[in-house]
Amino acid sequence: MELVCPAGTPAALRAAVEAGAQTVYCGFADETNARNFPGLNFDRDEMAAGVAFAHGRGAKVLVAINTFPHAGAEPLWHRAIADAETAGADAVILADIGLLAHAAEHHPGLRRHLSVQAAAANPDVINFYAEAFGVKRVVLPRVLTVDEIAAINREIDVETEVFVFGGLCVMAEGRCSLSSYATGQSPNMNGVCSPASHVAYAEESGGLTARLGGFTIHRTAKGQPAPYPTLCKGCFTSGDQTGHVFEDPVSLDATQLIPALARAGVTALKIEGRQRSRAYVAEVARSFRAAIEAQAAGRPMPKAALAKLSEGQAATTGAYAKTWR
């Protein structure tokens, strides 16, 4: 299977390739990609250099242009596609149907992948994207079980890529405006979720309170590690219950499921985390490359080697196991 690693910076791209990533994905430094964080991403020269570096070592580069263009501002997104092609990118990762139509018409030679932000969750809609826009690979949403992924692969002709490590969206991706409800900034429109610009911490009697856009997301006792206040991982009250209504502050680790995902017909395994450091990306890439080689050789999967890298120090296999629902 192909290992697809994140790169938020040129240094992370080089580190990922050197650590064994067969493919790296990255984006331009603006609202055209879903990790539009301060200090991250690539300018045009860096993209061309990154692609040349990867190609020189037999690796591929995918450019994520996976937010939804603003009405009246489509040229920014169209330019990103043209510049990705000029830089020599192996594919673009798109979510918006207007953008897919534009790429298919104006850049027919540039391979198109469907972003997880399109949340294509069944064979019919995947075949729709394949037939309408010539999509060659689909990044599956994190709402599916391994059995469902296997069933999808039996009914489609395009490749599938699934997330195996990193942040975990519990909502159907690309169809969530929780962040903009609280902050005005959303993944779809701005490429950010629960942005740091809207986070405030306060020492209060009960401990450290984290607020997002003024809404309290969680409170941790003194001396306890405080997870980042991502809205859907917050602690809330409903009726007589207080707790993590949507999801605990855990991250995804599907290492143990790699053999099952291979049997399910998955082409590529994806690591989330373009906002992560070069050292993190290198360690995760090395570890997953080893796991993929173990899988290919029929050896058991390495156990929890990456636990210390997981957000909130706890990991889940998420929707891949049906009990999660």
Partner 1 sequence: MDLTVGPNLFFWEAATVRAFYEGLTTAPVARVVLGEVVCSKRLPFWQNEIAQAADTLLSAGKAVAITSLALVTLKRERKATAALAEIGLPIEVNDLTALQSLPKGQPFWVGPLINVYNEGTLRWLAARGAVRVCLPPELPLDSIAVLARLGRDLGVSVEVWGHGRLPLAISGRCYHARLHDHAKDSCQFVCGLDPDGRDVETLDGQKFLAVNGVQTLSQSTASMAFQIEALREAGVTSLRMSPQSADFAQICVAYAARIAGTLTAADLAASLIAKVPGGRLSDGFVRGPSGAHWSGTATIGNHHGL
* Secondary element (H or E) of residue 303: none
Instruction: Compute the distance between CA of residue 236 and CA of residue 230 in angstroms, rounded to an integer.
Output: 12
Residue with tokens 């992560």: 276
Out of 216, 256, 267, 277, name the contact with partner 1 by CB under 8 A.
216
Cα–Cα distance, 160 to 149 (Å, whole number): 9
Does residue 170 belong to the site contacting partner 1 (CB under 8 A)?
yes
Check binding of 267 to partner 1 (CB under 8 A).
Answer: no
Residue 93 as a binder of partner 1 (CB under 8 A): the answer is no
Q: Is 108 in the site for partner 1 (CB under 8 A)?
A: no
Q: Return the structure tokens found at 264.
A: 């399910």
Binding flag, residue 60, partner 1 (CB under 8 A)? no
Closer CB to partner 1, 58 or 72, in the complex:
72
Q: Which is nearer to partner 1, 181 or 201 (CB)?
A: 181
- 205 makes contact with partner 1 (CB under 8 A): no
Nearer Cβ to partner 1 (13/95)? 95
> Which residue of 88, 127, 228, 248 would you call a contact of partner 1, by CB under 8 A?
127
Q: Which of 40, 235, 257, 285 binds partner 1 (CB under 8 A)?
A: 235
Closest CB 242 distance from partner 1, rounded Å: 7
For position 264 contacting partner 1 by CB under 8 A, the verdict is no
> What residues between 137 and 166 interact with partner 1 by CB under 8 A?
141-144, 148, 151
Residues near 97 by beta carbon (within 8 Å), at least 6 away in sequence: 132, 133
Q: Does 253 bind partner 1 (CB under 8 A)?
A: no
CB of 236 to partner 1, least distance (A): 5
Least distance between partner 1 and beta carbon 270 (Å): 18
Q: What backbone phi and psi angles, to 5 degrees, belong to 312?
A: 70, 5
Q: Site for partner 1 (CB under 8 A): which residue of 56, 58, 72, 108?
A: 72
10-18 and 44-56 helices, crossing angle to 10° = 10
The footprint of partner 1 on residues 306-325 (CB under 8 A) is 319, 322-325
Which residues partner with 200 through β-bridges? Answer: 211
Q: Give the nearest distance from C-beta 318 to partner 1 in angstroms.
A: 9
Q: At 29, is the secondary structure helix, strand, or coil?
A: coil
Which distant-in-sequence residues (6+ apart) come within 8 Å of 219 by Cβ? 204, 206, 207, 208, 209, 210, 235
Question: Measured at the alpha carbon of residue 223, what is the angle toward residues 219 and 229, in degrees to the nearest 5?
Answer: 35
Number of Cα atoms under 13 Å in the Cβ half of residue 9: 15
Containing 209, the helix (H) or strand (E) segment is: strand 207-212
- Interface with partner 1, residue 197, by CB under 8 A: no
For partner 1, the binding residue among 13, 80, 95, 271 (CB under 8 A) is 95
Choice from 69, 166, 167, 227 touching partner 1 (CB under 8 A):
69
Picking from 168, 200, 205, 171, the residue whose alpha carbon sits closest to that of residue 188 is: 171
Part of the chain binding partner 1 (CB under 8 A), chosen from 159-167, 238-246, 272-280, 281-289: 238-246
C-alpha triplet 157, 161, 166: angle, nearest 5°: 165
> CA separation (Å) from 296 to 1, 11, 22, 139, 267?
8, 29, 15, 22, 13
Q: Within 173-192, which residues bind partner 1 (CB under 8 A)?
A: 174-178, 180-184, 186, 188-189
